[in-house]
Structure 1
Amino acid sequence: MSTHQPPMPQAAPAAPDRQPAPGAPYSGYTSPIPVVRTHLGHAIASEWTKIRSVRSTIWTIGVFVLLVVGIGLLAGAVVSNSASSDDLSGESALSLGFFGLLLGSMCIITLGVLTTASEYGTGMIRTTMVACPSRARVLAAKAIVFFGVAFVITLATSAFVAMTQVSMLSDVARTPTGAEWLKGTVGVSLYIALLGLLSLVIGSIIRHSAGAITIMIGAVLAPLVIALFMFSQSLEKVRTALFEYSIPNQLSVFYSNSLSDSGPSGWDPLWIILLATAVAFGAAYLLLEKRDV
């Protein structure tokens, strides 16, 4: 009988040690996906995608356009049919745009608050911060995108209403000057956009949509309403200051139709709202860096 034994299997050769020598560059796997250093432009693109894809933007901007255009055209039609040249002597036809923008500003305020505060309510802010750990960059991107949207929409709407009202009231009101056109379109659009930006920053500070909207609407209406009920002579200075620096009065300044004989004039309201927004923006940045999301 044969005693031949099958050959024993040879052990596989040991895999070569692929560890790089100390100090040598690593030459292992390289991802085919290019690594791109993120910057503010990426955050802006992300925020633009958010603001144009949510329903709140469509609803608030839609209602804003409806209010500004509807009230503006209605006011122009009523005045053109009932007023005479003596009633509006010396008055610019642009002044009627004030009423629609005052109500429409509530929509811009709401959109500004929702741009930041809604993410805290839904928890989406955690995803945002993971995608972009730089909190200052996130806040700056939101501010840039919102301000651009608010300014463009307000400018287009207010310019359309202004041109329509001037044509409707050409027989009973004087033709606006170039400076009045600039203030009644570009100036008031900058003011409304900054008011919305202030609302965005307040939303970032409060982190609650309903609370921030209530605060901003109160800031718009409360000073004027409180001043109306100050009958005491001892409070006359306070009453005058509330009238002069209330947001409705500052809006009316852009139409050369101030509610008071003193107070802000010219482009003063724009610098006031710009200063208030800058201070609030600084506070929001400090709180954003210190608080958890």
Structure 2
Amino acid sequence: MSTATMNRPAARVSGKGVSFARALHSEWIKFTTLRSTWILLATTIAVSIGIGVLGAWGMGSGIEQLRADGQDPASVGLDPSMIHMMATGGLDFGQLIIGALGVLLIASEYSTGMIRSTMTAVPRRIPALAAKAVVVAVVAAIVGVVSSFATYFASQPVLSQYGLEYGLDVENLVQSILLSGVYLALVALMGLALGSLLRNSAGGIVTLVALLLVLPIVASMLQFDWVKDGVEPFLPSNAGRQLVALQIPEDALTQLQGGLVMAAWAAVLLAAAAVTTKTRDV
């Protein structure tokens, strides 16, 4: 070994050569090579379609029975136009699965220690988190749109038995279906943020379920005006329902407002996750 070689300073690891595109490609490979990813995505689609079609069948059979008994379905709160919402009716359950996928995408790396390799490859850390966010949001958006369109087409043969089939020209229907992708993307980002903050899969999923499912139920049980007007509409899943709603009551959040509220939840959680990712040890 030459003297020049012995005196050469050791190379230092630097994040300057790491581009966001490379980080994104790396996260995409990790995301698509996990069997659990495909299981959860397939389950999300299956559950969303199944719940939507089941809801359409239940409403169709109920309307037919009421008409056979000589009753007006609208008089008992079963307006036939409510069937149009069944295209996105499975989102309430699908969101829990896609949100769990967001949690697992990063929390599982903390539990296995793989996060050290990720952060070594991307020393500045934030691009790694951003890459995960882009991947899970895009996939969730596609799943939301595909499952909602599939639910619509799968429910039409069921509804045709009751003479209740309808076309895509129903007002705001296509817009609602497309926005269902935005809904699931935001839920997935919330899950990713919680997984990063808590660094625990079970804790992240439980917290997400509490935000999306438990808190709205508890809020609906509290008979206080300040809860009904100032808290309940701004919970993430309630705001999300407004995002995909076909008809908006005068005293409710509009589609835009509902989307902004839900986006604010995701943005705040992601900002907190970014801060902790940057400052805490792995």
Structure 2 length-normalised TM = 0.81
Question: What is the CA distance between 1:44 and its match in structure 2?
Answer: 0.9
SS in 2 for 1:267: helix
Q: 1:181 aligns with which of 173, 176, 180?
A: 173
Aligned position for 2:226: 237
Superposition deviation, residue 101 in structure 1: 1.2
Is the contact made by 2:102 and 2:136 (CA closer than 8 Å) also made in structure 1? yes
- Seen in structure 2, the aligned counterparts of structure 1 residues 176 and 251 have a Cα distance that, compared at 3 Å, is farther
| 1:156 is aligned to 2:146 | yes
Pairing 1:25-174 to 2, within 5 Å after superposition: 37-84=17-64, 87=73, 91=81, 93-166=83-156, 168-169=158-159, 171-172=163-164
Within 5 A, what are the aligned runs for 1:246-257? 246-253=235-242, 254-256=244-246
Higher helix proportion: 2
Residue type at the aligned position of 2:89: F
Deviations 1:89-138 (A, max 9, x none): 56154312343110111101100000111100000000111122120110
Number of aligned residues: 260
For 2:205 and 2:222, the matched residues in 1 are separated by 26
Matched with 2:260 is 271
> How far off its partner does 1:201 sit?
1.1
Q: Deviations over 1:44-87 (max 9, x none)?
A: 11111111111221221122112111122222233334424863
After TM superposition, give the deviation of residue 165 of structure 1 in Å.
2.9
Say if 1:18 and 1:251 are closer, same or farther in 2 by CA, change over 3 A.
closer
Query: Structure 1 stretches of 5 or more lacking a match?
Result: 1-14, 21-25, 27-35
Deviation string, structure 1 residues 251-279 (Cα, Å, up to 9, x no partner): 43213366x76231223221111122222
Greater alpha carbon shift after TM alignment, 148-157 vs 235-244:
235-244
Q: Contact conserved, 1:203 with 1:212, CA < 8 A, in 2?
A: yes
Asked if the contact 1:92/1:175 (under 8 Å) is kept, the reply is no
Q: 8 Å contact 1:159–1:185 — kept in the other structure?
A: yes
Q: Give the letter aligned to residue 236 of structure 1.
A: D
* Alignment partner of 1:281 is 2:266: no
* Structure showing greater Rg: 1
Alpha-carbon contact 2:102-2:191 (below 8 Å) kept: yes
Q: Answer yes or no: is the 8 Å Cα contact 1:92–1:174 preserved in 2.
A: no
Q: Displacement, 1:158?
A: 0.9
Runs of 4+ in structure 1 over 6 Å off: none
Tell me how large the CA RMSD over aligned residues is: 2.8
1:193 Cα shift?
1.0
Distance in 2 (alpha carbons) for counterparts of 1:205 and 1:256 = 35
* Superimposed CA distance per residue, residues 209-245 of structure 1 (whole angstroms, 9 cap, x where no aligned partner): 11111111100122322123324xxx22313444423
Matches of 1:237 and 1:144 in 2, distance apart? 36
What is the alpha-carbon distance in structure 2 between the residues aligned to residue 161 and residue 290 of structure 1?
44
The percent of aligned pairs where both chains have the same amino acid is 27
**In structure 2, what residue type is equivalent to 1:53?**
T
Give the structure 2 partner of residue 262 of structure 1: 251
Give the counterpart letter for 1:133 in structure 2: P
Stretches of structure 2 that go unaligned for 5 or more consecutive residues are 9-15
Q: Aligned AA for 2:205?
A: I
Distance 1:249 1:199 in 2: 17
Aligned counterpart, 1:218? 210
